[in-house]
Amino acid sequence: MDAIAACFIGGTAVTGGIGTIPGAMVGALIMGVLNQGLSIMGVDAAWVKTIKGLVVIAAVAYDLLSKKKKG
């Protein structure tokens, strides 16, 4: 889930699969910081998965909305 989330956060398109390596690396960095921060804060594992899922949903929604405005 973390790898897929990192790609979507990094800008990989849901509909076409277009993305860049630096974008995926930035997405991985964001997911790593999110994981480490939630771990340091002592957040329960169920909440960590929920937060990660919400981040993925937000990234996909942003991608779809931005594509809709362009085309």
* pTM of the entire predicted model: 0.80
Looking at per-residue confidence, does 29 or 64 come out higher?
A: 29
User: What is the tens place of the pLDDT at every residue in 7-57?
Assistant: 888 888 877 778 889 999 999 999 999 999 999 999 999 999 999 999 999
- Provide the number of structural domains found in the chain: 1
Orientation of helix 2-9 relative to helix 45-70, angle to 10°: 30
Dump the DSSP string for 9-68.
HTT--TTT----HHHHHHHHHHHHHHHHHHHHHT--HHHHHHHHHHHHHHHHHHHHHHHH
pLDDT computed for residue 18 by the predictor: 80
* pLDDT for residue 71 is more than 70: no
Domain that holds residue 39: 1-70
